[in-house]
Structure 1
């Protein structure tokens, strides 16, 4: 939990190791600033990449008040930056033994929390966030903090919608994008302008799907089941996903790349069935890309690999 933050420069092949950032469950950026969601305690830190690292003032602590009453949050897996409004959105997993995740809006201009909404999706964690057309879309998991047992009446992960302008009325709009799936592990804006998502986790309706995952795509102007297309069993999956599952990025070539179930896939966005080709067959987790469009993933938990595009 005293993990560091290493920086790799692909143009120079240079690796810099910085100690003491903490265990970052996810990160996001605005300009030169990198924002880290730290476990335990759901601490949020800001690292100014143009300044020297010292682990006291850089990265600086933005806020750390979500671990106690009344929120009891621990793991910020959902991290999303909004450059237009200069805001940070955080989705989190509850503390040990608790189920109720939360959604936080933080104003980076005033350095104030605008709101924290506990249990925004009832008895679920918030682990994936993306943004389109003045809306934040969040993906949930039925699994809560360490040592908690899922609510038996809560069997499916959901997508919720939060308006970034205007007023939000609770409960916010939310729906089940894929019946039977327990975890919405990632959401991105796809190359077609729609929202792309991954649905996985043990299926409560069809055990034969436990080792697969689904791709779903919905219209950001109509986030509901009627405007969602599901590509069933599109990927392999470990089946035991709770908080951290598949990840997606849009490549410079316009296709979507997916790290899920230990494999790296390329998805042909022009294919009517969204055909997926396996690029790396084993050991893959997490996924990111650089400006050149090359892909980076973790292999066998501790090794950073580059896939040249």
Structure 2
């Protein structure tokens, strides 16, 4: 008989214990929510059906974060002002905060959405939210407190997410990824029209704005960036972004102010202004905020931030005025809106906006200049789980949260977790003795966590930061204790060529970086075994695809520049997991194929488990079990392989991602926000 390790009533105490940990180390990037794409594809776990659920035991969510993706303001019929926050989570949520009292009023679950970027408030005060991963559209009426899920509005096969919305009198216009389309939803008669892909081969319709007077949409697409005028009457499309801006990735945000179009370029931090009639560029402004405000209700001006300070931009004189209003260190405004508050400190209109993902909000009064930063008490949400490893004793499982980060340490003997929230998304981890080495995103940082010491401002400590080399993700990591060195492989996003190999000397506190280590490929798996470090690549780098297949290679830790390629008798797009068994045989996953390599005899064996894979990064993970069998997951399937015959048994048909094992042989996997246990039969 299988023994359930958690009954339903035990999940609540686990949630409370996770939320009460203290003494977090401050990772300066922990509150920077990453873009919802991973090497060109959105990271989404397939669900587990009821039949498969009966084979495993639910442990539950492990990582909870308070991460506000975006916000908007509005008011009810009585004039009460509210701020609406989209909370990242699995599922996401809409949090309603009273701006007069700064108190949380309501929280509504955005079912079927792990995040939501599209947020707009209609003229009547109704809030509209466009979500992922099914493209559901939601609304909330502050007068009736009615919350509605209007269902999935994505009709093109490639579309998985609503990127932006604009709501006018109950009609919602939306833009999408990865079909790069735009749609119109009329809530009065529940009619949906999809206008198709905006521009050929542009997968992201990142931003849009509706011009009610002209019945025209302005759409920012990528990547690479372009800006399109779409006349809804004639169906004519006009692309008008000048060539000087087409090396940007996206047009992140669009504002229509008077007779002008304000387009926020990303990542170049330029605000480009166009004449609405001629579509010619009339101005350019440098800024750091994600967006700009609309025109001030008090004067001919707009607001934005740069260099950690609030600026006013005079629309007549084009003068930029530094208002000397500092933000929190390292932050810039994510949103900017105007409200009227019932507070003597804030007469007339007040500029308000979200500063960071932690829920800090700036209030700046336009009349008096009085300002303050308020930390809103926003509700934590369970987060989709991501990278997962076990320690050497198979006692603890380390598991990271996707996008908003967080690191949970789950003890398989006590069935309890400790959560450290203040750390960003982790791309790779390895444990050597009492040290956990972490490849953190963004900026391809490498951290060292001393497991014998409490979490603090100096633990974990940062060893390297490879963002200066054009690297964003530290996707492969291993360590060589004898040499006191850590080896890291990366995925490049802004450099030319492939990923880098970085070597950090723990004794000398020095680093060496070998750029474009495998020509035009990224490094996604490392293994240290005996005298070599073995590595695997992905053909994806810099949003490009290398026509040559993934490479399996090795090098001596003392001579990283002298790599040796090991030819595999099959083609693969990525080699995502490498291990060594107790006999010294190297095992790996190449797409959907399990393979072994004997370093002594050079013999290579392989067994195909799946013919086709999605192409998504981190699609497979393998470990050696305590019974000497090879266990793994690939594209949601959990399998067991006999190392002698390579015969494969499928344990779970779907819903299993990553894998770990405890000292009793029980297997663990993740699915969405939940950790699951696959018990070994007694």
Normalising to structure 2: TM-score of the pair?
A: 0.39
DSSP-derived class of the 2:626 partner: coil
- For the residue of structure 1 that corresponds to 2:544, the secondary structure is coil
Query: Is contact 1:2-1:23 (8 Å) kept?
Result: yes
Check if 1:254 corresponds to 2:633. no
**Cα deviation 1:225-270 (Å, max 9, x = unaligned):** xx32232x2x136622243121100011111101112111011113
**Does residue 1:177 correspond to 2:571, yes or no?**
no
Q: 1:30-80 CA distances to partner (integer Å, 9 max, x unpaired)?
A: 2211111001111011112222223x312111111x111xx2111111111
Residues 134-191 of structure 1 show CA distances to partners (whole Å, capped at 9, x for unaligned) of 100100000014xx2213xx330011211124x4555x22144243211111111134
SS in 2 for 1:119: coil
The equivalent position to 1:128 in structure 2, one of 522, 525, 544, is 525
1:63 paired residue number:
464
TM-score for the superposition, normalised by structure 1: 0.83
Q: Larger radius of gyration, structure 1 or 2?
A: 2
Alpha-carbon distance in 2 for matches of 1:238, 1:282: 15
Matched, 1:53 2:455: yes
Q: Number of paired residues? A: 278
| Displacement after TM superposition at 1:132 (Å) | 1.9
Alignment of 1:261-276 (within 5 A): 261-271=635-645, 274-276=646-648
2: CA distance, partners of 1:155 / 1:303? 37
Distance 1:287 1:308 in 2: 13
How far the C-alpha of 1:125 sits from its partner, in A, is 0.5
- Contact preservation (8 Å) 2:464, 2:504: no
Alignment counterpart, residue 413 of structure 2, candidates 4, 7, 11: 11
Distance 1:293 1:103, change over 3 A: farther
Q: Which residue number corresponds to residue 275 of structure 2?
A: none
Q: 1:126 to 1:242 in 2, by over 3 A?
A: farther
User: Counterpart in 1 of 2:659?
Assistant: 287
In structure 2, C-alpha distance between the alignment counterparts of 1:183 and 1:60, rounded to whole Å? 31
For 2:611 and 2:458, locate their aligned partners in 1 and report how far apart those are by CA, in whole Å.
Answer: 40
**1:192 paired to 2:192:** no
CA distance in 1 between counterparts of 2:600 and 2:516 reads 24
Name the counterpart of 1:210.
none
Counterparts of 1:290 and 1:85, CA distance in 2: 29
Moved over 4 A (4+): 96-99
- Indicate if the aligned counterparts of 1:298 and 1:304 stay in contact, CA closer than 8 A: yes
Provide the residue aligned with 1:139 in structure 2.
536
How far off is 1:109 after superposition? Answer: 2.2
2:679 matched residue in structure 1: 308
Preserved contact between residue 37 and residue 43 of structure 1 (Cα < 8 Å): yes
Q: Does 2:611 correspond to 1:220?
A: no
Structure 2: distance between partners of 1:293 and 1:110: 40
